[in-house]
Structure 1
Amino acid sequence: MDSPFDRTGLRQHVDNNVVSAFEQAIRAAPDVRLNRMNPLKFAAEHGLDLTETISGFLHATQRGIFELSWNVVCSTCGGVLHAAGSLRDVSCETYACALCVWDCEPNLDETVEVTFTVDARIRNIGAHHPDRLPLWQYTRECFWSSGSDLPDNLEPFARNAALAAFEVSSGSSVERFLELHEGTAVLFDPVTHSSRFLEVEGSDTAAMQEVAFSVHGSRGVFETVRVRPGTVKLDVQNLTSERILPILWEVGPALKEMVSRRVPVLTASRLMSSQAFRDLYGSSVLDVNQHFKITRLSFLFIDLKESTQLYGRVGDLAAYDFVRAYFRVVGQIVESEGGAVVKTIGDAVMATFPAPLQGIRAAVAMKKALQELSVARGAREQSARIGIHCGPCLAVVMNDRQDYFGQTVNMASRLQGIASDRILATEAVMEDDDVRAYIDGSGLVTEGFTEKLRGIEPEQAVFAIRA
């Protein structure tokens, strides 16, 4: 390590096993493993709890051990189209991928990943000096995302799909003579994110064919050139102020197989549903004018039933202590299931979870915990209304707080309002394979019916869940 980090301070907030894994990686891991670190992959490789690992990365970032990056990733090739230190610096508009000619909309649970890179003050790695990285190392570490399942040493693997690859310094040009066969090739520069396409078609020719490309530094897909199969003299001129690293990829099965190799990543949506993230970053993650789409997020609303009568029955002080304990227990359960408390509304709590199963397990645990809390306080059993729904929504800032907006949120809230002392879930939740397996294996009883929810058309299929 170039500079030791404060293990003692970190261990006050982070699981010891996670801290030890961080220390081991920073001391001994190859540089590539400390750039754009994928917390899901890191947790799996080290046998760590995922929630604790995500929390650990966040706390370590707060202490200057890692740098956090929000990366807009092309859903087709897995390339990073834009990287920013803050989600505020990510546009809600589309980003164009010049390699696969695809417009990518920043979507927080599909196309925006979150990665962590060791801080240069802790350990200086190659990715801190991208202009010095060799061509294939740059392509591996600076273009492809943490979800691309590629070897640390990319060159031998990529050579199956690359016809040529070369470095061109600023203001200079490079010539290459290539034997091209019928098909399509794309000359892509991962530095400027610009590309040119070569269409090789027609009958073979013995004549020398010349193709010249000038790279100006502008992003995007430029002209397509058509040549015949045979020898092609490729002349690439670099008109930018930095080196470029053009790679001529053969568009075919080898390239398709390479870019389709993926592993799960920490999406922006999943991170924002982490309690540690909300506690550490609060409402600073989004700008008031931003609104990002999320295709699927699970919402849970819980509210104490007849809480007003509770105050009258046991007195203000005892009721206040009970409600505080209830909030604390609910928060602990939400965090243990990898979710986050978004806000409280009176005696109600709104929480989010990356997946429906986490919301269902949390709901069952909340009901049990509330019963135990009532017994411990010597009070009559206090029940709660719980509603769970999953679906698309928008991540927004409302009332100076990172929040969520849309019909999915409304449906979860409406369910909680009619739940009486039950757990109510929508059909979207109950159709989830993991939820069905959990309910079947837990002995829970479900009862389906249709219900008209206020302000929502048409009637909805609703399921009551009882232990």
Structure 2
Amino acid sequence: MSESEARFTVLRQSADPLAAAGIERLVRDGTDRELHRINVIDFAAANGLPVDRALDAFLHATRLGMFEMSWNVLCPGCGGVLNTNATLKTIHQHSYACALCAAGYEPSLDEMVEVAFSVSPRVRQIAAHAPEQLPMWEYVRQMYWSSGIEFPAEMPAQEVMERFVIDWTDLGAGDKATMSLQLPAGFIILFEPVTHSAQFLDVQGEPTRERQELGVVFNNVQAPTGTVPLRPGPLRLTMENRTDARVLPALYIAGDDLHHMLGKRKKFLTARTLLTNQTFRDLYRADMLAMDQRLKITSLTFVFTDLKASTELYERVGDLAAYELVKAHFGVLNEVVARESGAVVKTIGDAVMASFPTPDRGIAAVLGMREAMKALNASRHSEDLTLKIGIHEGPCLAVTLNDRLDYFGQTVNIAARVQGLAQSHAIFATEPVVRHADAARLLAQAGLTPVAQRCNLRGIAEELTVYEIP
């Protein structure tokens, strides 16, 4: 048995069989391009799988050494990859600059960090393992643009790019080149994807017959993007590569064709989604954030639960019996959380803190928790286990506390305080949750009408509207 076959055998045992079979087909039959920066959401759709099931399989496969995972910081404007990281730990919280958009962005783990999977060279060699040897336009397509850009499926990369590129060249380390061309009127960007540098050309006014001159040097210093005014007509462009690698400059027309391509976006796996995946938290517990990292998440949904009157339960049935009941309650909650694309952040005594990527997944989970607890009580012919539940959504910071991934901020505080309002089987939710369109749809389908009330929460200065879900 080959080393790769041995890995697939283990994968079939640890992941969903259909997802494992789909991965095996992809590795065996996929093109080189299809095996680089794999978009898990696309893979799930192509194989008729739920995204969570496909993601779990890729995480297990990566743990087995079949894939390499990359955390790519993206420009929210153009969708380009500004920085590639092998782990979450090397993403810093400072600003990342996009030369193409001439803008800087503080990274957030929502839509600015893409997580993609590339086949390991130990399993199969692909062209992207040696990016310096990729044809120019394959480099631009595979290395610069993220998996969220929806390129025409069958069209060669060069044919796509020629729609909005005037001219281009491939410059080796230390090389110089001169390009003679006719500049059309409009806004033109001289963009180089290896060094992530750009020069804007604002071409306007009366056409000229006199040759214009422009010199550009590519180096490893990321300078702010500047603008040079030019007139339509002849240009002699001199370029010098002062780096130790090749550079790939091209003149892009910033018109409708370029904007149309960059505007065709599709869903991709975000860091936020991965951090709320229970399999990821279980398999990569030691590969989270560094101790001094603080990364922003603009929206995350938190659920807090606690058992009502658990102290009385211990006194009534005894420590051993109560422990078994509490353990059973943790089991059903963990199952519901994982089913709804969430992850258990931590448990404190009888309480659970869980995170979800969106409010609708959180609402589906809390409704599922309540039903699961009813079923658990019914199986015991008792009503000993009553769950108090609170849910809230908002921005937060991802941090490391006590050697594990945790979250910090007012959103977390409010979610915990909202849970403290619950006294019976009712669920307490904040306005951002119940006003979320998909969450509201789930509540309506369940025949539940949230009842609003104004509340003062301990430690929270402003009075909040909180909804009781009966």
* Category of TM-score, reference length = shorter chain: over 0.9
Find 1:380's aligned residue among 380, 383, 406.
383
For 1:336-355, what aligned pairs fall within 5 Å after superposition?
336-355=339-358
Q: Secondary structure at the match of 1:217?
A: coil
Aligned CA distance change for structure 1 residues 251 and 7 (closer, same or farther; 3 Å): same
Match of 2:312 in 1: 309
**Structure-1 separation of matches of 2:12 and 2:321:** 35
Q: Secondary structure at the match of 1:382?
A: coil
Match of 1:195 in 2: 198
Does structure 1 retain, via aligned residues, the 8 Å contact 2:188–2:202?
Answer: yes
| Structure 2 gap ranges (5+) | none
Q: Does 1:441 align with 2:445?
A: yes
**Structure-1 separation of matches of 2:85 and 2:418:** 38
**Structure-1 separation of matches of 2:326 and 2:69:** 36
**Structure-2 separation of matches of 1:17 and 1:212:** 55
Match of 1:278 in 2: 281
Does structure 2 retain, via aligned residues, the 8 Å contact 1:304–1:382?
Answer: yes
**Structure-1 separation of matches of 2:164 and 2:136:** 15
**Structure-2 separation of matches of 1:5 and 1:243:** 39
**Structure-1 separation of matches of 2:314 and 2:54:** 40
**Structure-2 separation of matches of 1:331 and 1:68:** 26
| Structure 1 gap ranges (5+) | none
Q: Does 1:463 align with 2:467?
A: yes
**Structure-2 separation of matches of 1:178 and 1:430:** 58
Q: Does 1:300 align with 2:303?
A: yes
Does structure 2 retain, via aligned residues, the 8 Å contact 1:92–1:291?
Answer: yes
Per-residue deviation, residues 5-44 of structure 1 (Å, max 9, x unmatched): 5222112221001001101111111111111111112111
Q: Quote how far apart the aligned CAs of 1:381 are.
A: 4.1
Point out the more displaced range, 293-302 or 206-215. Answer: 206-215
Q: Quote how far apart the aligned CAs of 1:199 are.
A: 1.9
User: What is the aligned-residue RMSD (CA, Å)?
Assistant: 1.5
Q: Does 1:428 align with 2:429?
A: no
Does structure 2 retain, via aligned residues, the 8 Å contact 1:2–1:124?
Answer: no
Give aligned-pair identity as a percent.
44
**Structure-1 separation of matches of 2:12 and 2:359:** 31
Aligned residues: 466
For 1:162-311, what aligned pairs fall within 5 Å after superposition?
162-311=165-314
| Aligned AA (1:215) | F
Aligned CA distance change for structure 1 residues 5 and 229 (closer, same or farther; 3 Å): farther
Point out the more displaced range, 406-415 or 152-161. Answer: 152-161
Does structure 2 retain, via aligned residues, the 8 Å contact 1:3–1:123?
Answer: no
Per-residue deviation, residues 287-339 of structure 1 (Å, max 9, x unmatched): 11110111100000010100111111212111111100111110011000000
In the superposition, the TM-score normalised over structure 2's length comes to: 0.96
**Structure-1 separation of matches of 2:119 and 2:60:** 13
Match of 1:55 in 2: 56
Q: Quote how far apart the aligned CAs of 1:225 are.
A: 2.6
Q: Secondary structure at the match of 2:150?
A: coil
| Aligned AA (1:375) | A
Q: Quote how far apart the aligned CAs of 1:196 are.
A: 1.5
Q: Quote how far apart the aligned CAs of 1:435 are.
A: 1.1
For 1:138-149, what aligned pairs fall within 5 Å after superposition?
138-149=139-150
Match of 1:130 in 2: 131
Does structure 2 retain, via aligned residues, the 8 Å contact 1:101–1:221?
Answer: yes
In the superposition, the TM-score normalised over structure 1's length comes to: 0.97
Q: Quote how far apart the aligned CAs of 1:357 are.
A: 1.0
Aligned CA distance change for structure 1 residues 57 and 462 (closer, same or farther; 3 Å): same
Q: Secondary structure at the match of 1:12?
A: helix
Q: Quote how far apart the aligned CAs of 1:385 are.
A: 0.4
Q: Quote how far apart the aligned CAs of 1:378 are.
A: 3.6
Q: Secondary structure at the match of 1:359?
A: helix
Per-residue deviation, residues 168-222 of structure 1 (Å, max 9, x unmatched): 1122222222111222211111111111122212211111222221212322445
**Structure-2 separation of matches of 1:242 and 1:5:** 38
Q: Quote how far apart the aligned CAs of 1:3 are.
A: 4.2
Does structure 2 retain, via aligned residues, the 8 Å contact 1:206–1:230?
Answer: yes
Per-residue deviation, residues 216-267 of structure 1 (Å, max 9, x unmatched): 2322445433222111111212122111110111122221112111111111
Q: Does 1:43 align with 2:44?
A: yes
Q: Secondary structure at the match of 2:71?
A: strand
Q: Quote how far apart the aligned CAs of 1:283 are.
A: 4.6
**Structure-1 separation of matches of 2:152 and 2:141:** 9
Q: Secondary structure at the match of 2:419?
A: helix
Q: Secondary structure at the match of 2:198?
A: strand
Q: Does 1:87 align with 2:88?
A: yes
